[in-house]
Amino acid sequence: MERRIVVKLGSQLLCDPAGELNLAVMEQLAQQIGRLAGAGWQVLLVSSGAVAAGRGVAGARLDRVADTVARKQVLAATGQVRLMERYRALFEPHGLAVAQVLASKSDFQTRRHYLNMRGCIEGLLSAGILPVVNENDVVSITELMFTDNDELAGLIAGMVKADLLCLLSTVPGVYDGDPEAEDTQIIENWDDAVHRPEDVVQAGASALGRGGMHSKLNMARRTARLGTTVVIGDGAAPDILERICAGQFAGTRFPAGDEVSPTRRWLASADAHAEGSVTVNQGAAKALLDRSRLASLLPVGIESVQGPFQQGDVIQVCGPGGEVLGCGRAAYDHEEAGRAMGRRGRKPLIHYDYLYLTD
């Protein structure tokens, strides 16, 4: 059975502050990916670096562009060409053809778009072609931007049911405390029962990327709960990918949780695009979060409905304190939900099979 690995490469790993590509790192990673492909792994690459690489292409021409958004679009458009040409040249000696896949958050918003993208990527993998995925910065606007490419990589890993997701940057893993302290160590295996993100992570963004370790950690935990093992590691470390695939210590590993259905994987990617929401009472919240039973969302437990939403839309489910419990696919629209609210004997607003809980 073929195994799948999603490899995410961060901007700081791929580029220096001036926007020049780090060819030595890119070449050694290409060699490892080539060997993995030869060993039967299906590889997907999620690559940052287009905007950063664009700085080395646009140069002084960028001074002619006054608008901030347009400047980023120019950098993305020019840098993407440079990045893909480099990947083509690096993977060709290993017998790998590459394909560019540009994604925006809206591609995960509807089930139809989601399945279309999944079909394209599955086709590329079946043909033995290496998909290189990046955010479509040329058309993305603030509300449709991914938090960072870690988020995109996690969504792609869930979409293709990857066995492994490798989040590679310039840090060797998640530290158990202050990285500057002498007794600080890398956490080898993350355990939610033992480790807490707020105890080990300082939020922040790098000079070349929107994300920091905080968002990387959150995405790793979330993706692992959906059934994909995740590793955060240093992409410049020797043979990092092959060591990860062999199960060796190569960063912080987040063990995969139980198998999750394709529908719930999609819902996990669509929860940020909810069309509306419902607030449930304490009893309904307790029933939904009880892992010992399978519970659908019944109207009797709903306290309020926030629309508009239509039948088939993804809606958020909030607890009595306003906390987001999860999301699901509505079986009927907000008007019918409002009429059924608080009443017994009505069909579920969200059936268990179409309900994704974040906890």
For 150-191, the pLDDT digits (tens) are: 889 999 999 999 999 999 998 899 988 777 778 888 999 999
* Cα separation, 342 vs 299, whole angstroms: 6
Q: Mean pLDDT of all residues in the chain?
A: 87
CATH code, 324? 2.30.130.10
Which of 256, 258, 226, 230 lies closest to 244, judged by CA? 230
Q: How many CB atoms lie within 10 A of CB 1?
A: 4
pLDDT the model gives residue 342: 94
Same domain, 255 and 340: no
Rounded Cα–Cα distance for residues 33 and 36 (Å)? 5
Range scoring the smallest mean pLDDT among 243-247, 251-255, 258-262, 333-337:
258-262
Alpha carbon 352 to chain centroid distance? 24
Range of the domain at 162: 3-264
Residues above pLDDT 70, as percent of the chain: 92
Residue 251 and residue 283 in one domain: no
* Same domain, yes or no: 243 and 313: no
Residue where one domain finishes, among candidates 208, 241, 264:
264
Question: Percent of the chain beyond pLDDT 90?
Answer: 55
Of 22-26, 205-209, 262-266, 302-306, the poorest mean pLDDT is in 205-209
Asked if residue 269 is part of any domain, the answer here is no
Note the residue count of the chain: 359
- Residue 270's contacts (CB-CB under 8 Å, 6 or more residues apart) are 108, 109, 110, 111, 114, 314, 327
Mean pLDDT, rounded, for 224-253: 94
Question: Residues of 11-28 as b/e, b for ≥16 C-beta within 10 angstroms?
Answer: bbbbbeeebebbeebbeb
Residue 48 is assigned to a structural domain of this protein: yes
Across 15-19, 61-65, 299-303, least confident range: 15-19
For the ranges 96-110, 141-155, 192-206, 285-299, the lowest mean pLDDT is seen at: 192-206
| Dist. CA 2–CA 28, nearest whole Å | 23
- At residue 63, does pLDDT exceed 90? no
pLDDT beyond 80 at 266: yes
Distance CA 178, CA 231 (A): 20
| Residue 182's CATH number | 3.40.1160.10
Q: Is 46 helix (H, G, I), strand (E, B) or coil?
A: strand
What pLDDT sits at residue 1?
Answer: 55
Residue type for 232, please? Answer: I
Same domain, 91 and 199: yes
Residue 253: is it exposed, middle or buried by C-beta count within 10 angstroms (0-12/13-18/19+)?
buried
Q: Kindly calculate the radius of gyration of the chain based on its CA atoms and give it in whole angstroms.
A: 22
Give the helix, strand, coil percentages of the chain, each rounded to 5.
Answer: 40, 20, 40
pLDDT number for residue 145: 67
Q: What integer pLDDT is reported at residue 208 of this predicted model?
A: 38
Answer yes or no: do 187 and 38 share one domain.
yes
Least confident of 154-158, 183-187, 202-206, 277-281: 202-206
Mean pLDDT over residues 192-220, rounded? 68
pLDDT at 202 over 70: no
Q: Which of 234, 264, 294 is the last residue of a domain?
A: 264
- Residues 194, 310: one domain? no
| Stated pTM of the model | 0.84
Mark whether 229 and 155 lie in a shared domain: yes
- Residue from 90, 86, 233 nearest 164 by CA: 233
Return the amino acid letter for 48: S
Over residues 321-328, the mean pLDDT reads 92
| Domain membership flag for residue 95 | yes
If asked whether residues 65 and 187 sit together in one domain, one would say yes
Total domains, the chain: 2
Is pLDDT at 269 greater than 60 in this prediction? yes
> Do 233 and 301 lie in a common domain?
no
Q: What residue type is 319 in one-letter code?
A: G
Return contacts of 80-84, CB within 8 angstroms, 24+ apart: 80/50, 80/53, 80/54, 80/134, 80/137, 80/138, 81/57, 82/21, 82/53, 82/54, 82/56, 82/57, 83/14, 83/21, 83/47, 83/49, 83/50, 83/53, 83/134, 84/132
**pLDDT recorded at residue 201:** 67
* Final residue belonging to a domain, choices 209, 237, 264: 264
The reply to whether 164 and 23 lie within a common domain is: yes
Mind giving me the DSSP string for 245-257?
A: HTT--SSEEE---
44 domain residue, yes or no? yes
Mean pLDDT score, 225-229: 93
**Whether residues 255 and 306 fall in one domain:** no
CA distance linking residue 213 with residue 202, whole number of Å: 7
pLDDT of residue 48: 83
Tens-place pLDDT, residues 15-62: 876 667 888 999 999 999 999 999 999 999 999 878 777 777 777 788
Residue 287 has pLDDT above 90, yes or no: yes
Does one domain contain both 173 and 310? no
Confidence of residue 210 (pLDDT cuts 50, 70, 90): very low
335's CB contacts (< 8 A; 6+ apart) are 307
